Amino acid sequence: MSTLGYASAVYHGLRIGLKFPGMMIRWKLRHKKAKNEFKKTLVNSGLPPVQAQELAELYPFKIEEIISLARG
């Protein structure tokens, strides 16, 4: 690999390394916001707040889990 290739790899590695913490913080905040919106939607649709909180703690979950909860 040439010097230019090494320099490019170092540049892109540093760029990703410096962006990663911000990306993780944004992901956590967006996930929390989506979970809260999901809980509000459940409460607005008539589900008791306690059950809505329990389901919101499972967010995000797979469709198979929803079906098994509905059957049970």
How deeply is 35 buried, as exposed, middle or buried, from its count of CB atoms within 10 A (0-12, 13-18, 19+)? middle
Contact 52, 43 (CB under 8 A): yes
Separation CA 35–CA 54 (nearest Å):
11
pTM above 0.85, yes or no: no
Contact 35, 56 (CB under 8 A): yes
Predicted confidence (pLDDT) per residue in 22-71, tens digit: 888 888 888 889 889 999 999 999 999 999 888 888 877 655 666 677 77
Contact 53, 39 (CB under 8 A): yes
